[in-house]
């Protein structure tokens, strides 16, 4: 089989590395620490280096057929650190000839004039906030190099992650699922009844792997196949029903409390830029991907069952 370099070992990077290794590929994962951060996976090598170092990253990528860019700086450091990371990823792709597969998100579109319109890949990258701009610029840089014939690049965009292995963030992860497993009320950011797209983490990994081997995918962005949008309240109800805990109250985090907490927490301060994503409909359209390739979103009941089972094993609930 072939050699793939996975940069970053958060939920998406770890899932991608496991999937590739399970398919028989040779996998090297690059992180700052170099450790697996959990049980070792056969066929996955871990290497410690700063991925924003173009020389060392290029050396690590030599011989790879694909570089999967799944790393992300801490949210408060996006504006300062994304440009160097993307520059190094592009340099490694050019040096090695590997396909650069970037994991993106929906920040680059910014708030839509009509929030009822689902997001499609042909929308302009019109974000005005620093986090949205830096994510848009990352893909624009890679696409420009692709169009110049210097690299081969593709971006896969996902909405908020959901599923086994997703422990960071508070949308449907660390704060929410353990609480509902205990039958306790949960608190969510924004309007709990606003439609929202939740992208299942295993589907993110499958999309990153699929487009790496599809030449017709390169040179543009694609939305990961994602189940129909559902509100946070609806998702909590499905999770609670699967967990057998009965109805769970869903409370909205007060904007006043969020603003006050942001005075002391850099992470919470950063959420102010993207609050619009939870205050009104935030819906992603993935039909273009589904029309072109084989991957389909995992059925929502399977997503919910796997997520509850994973959290039960993790927490002992």
- Residue owning tokens 């998702």: 235
Average pLDDT over residues 310-315: 90
> Is residue 24 scored above 60 in pLDDT?
yes
The residue written with tokens 């704060």 in the block is: 175
**pLDDT tens profile 139-189:** 999 999 999 999 999 999 999 999 999 987 657 877 788 898 888 999 888
Mean pLDDT of the chain: 92
| Residue percentage of the chain with pLDDT more than 90 | 78
Domain-embedded: residue 187: no
Domain count, the chain: 1
85 domain-assigned: yes
Confidence of residue 129 (pLDDT cuts 50, 70, 90): very high
Degrees to nearest 5, angle at CA 167 with 162 and 168 = 95
> Count of residues for the chain?
317
| Residue 100: inside a domain | yes
Q: What is the DSSP letter of 253?
A: P
∠ CA 233-123-16, nearest 5°, is 65
Are β-strands 66-69 and 44-48 bridged in parallel, bridged antiparallel, or unpaired? unpaired
- Whether residue 316 is contained in a domain is answered as no
Domain carrying residue 212: 3-161+199-226+283-298
Residues 156 and 188: their CA atoms lie apart, in Å, by: 26
**Model confidence over 269-282: pLDDT tens digits?**
777 888 899 999 99
* Residue 112 located in a structural domain: yes
Contact 237, 172 (CB under 8 A): no
Give per-residue pLDDT as tens, 25-84.
999 999 999 887 778 889 999 999 999 999 999 999 999 999 999 999 988 899 999 999
Is there a domain that residue 249 lies in? no
Name the pLDDT band for 267 (thresholds 50, 70, 90). low
Q: Confirm whether 104 is domain-assigned.
A: yes
CATH of the domain at 44: 3.40.50.720
In a domain, 278, yes or no: no
Give this prediction's pTM.
0.95
């Amino acid at each position: 089989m072939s050699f793939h370099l996975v940069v970053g070992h958060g939920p998406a990077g770890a899932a991608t590395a496991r999937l590739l290794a399970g398919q028989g590929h040779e996998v090297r994962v690059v992180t700052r620490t170099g450790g697996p951060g959990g049980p070792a996976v056969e066929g996955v090598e871990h290497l410690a280096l700063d991925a924003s170092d173009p020389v060392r990253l290029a050396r690590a990528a030599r011989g790879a057929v694909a570089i999967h860019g799944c790393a992300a700086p801490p949210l408060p450091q996006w504006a300062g650190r994304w440009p160097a990371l993307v520059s190094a990823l592009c340099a490694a792709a050019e040096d090695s000839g590997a396909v650069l597969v970037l994991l993106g998100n929906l920040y680059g579109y910014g708030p839509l004039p009509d929030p009822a319109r689902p997001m499609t890949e042909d929308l302009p990258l019109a974000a005005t906030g620093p986090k949205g701009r830096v994510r848009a610029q990352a893909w624009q840089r890679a696409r420009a190099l692709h169009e110049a014939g210097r690299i081969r690049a593709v971006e896969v965009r996902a909405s908020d992650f959901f599923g086994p292995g997703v422990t960071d963030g508070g949308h449907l992860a660390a704060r929410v699922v353990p609480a509902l497993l205990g039958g306790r009320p949960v608190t969510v950011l924004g309007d709990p009844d606003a439609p929202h797209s939740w992208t299942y983490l295993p589907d993110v990994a499958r999309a990153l792997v699929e487009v790496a081997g599809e030449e017709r995918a390169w040179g543009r962005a694609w939305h990961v196949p994602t189940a129909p949008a559902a509100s946070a309240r609806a998702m909590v109800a499905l999770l609670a029903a699967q967990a057998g805990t009965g109805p769970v109250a869903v409370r909205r985090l007060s904007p006043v409390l969020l603003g006050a907490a942001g005075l002391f927490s850099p992470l919470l301060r950063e959420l102010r830029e993207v609050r619009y994503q939870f205050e009104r409909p935030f819906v992603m359209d993935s039909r273009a991907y589904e029309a072109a390739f084989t991957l389909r979103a995992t059925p929502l009941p399977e997503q919910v069952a796997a997520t509850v089972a994973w959290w039960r094993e993790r927490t002992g609930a």
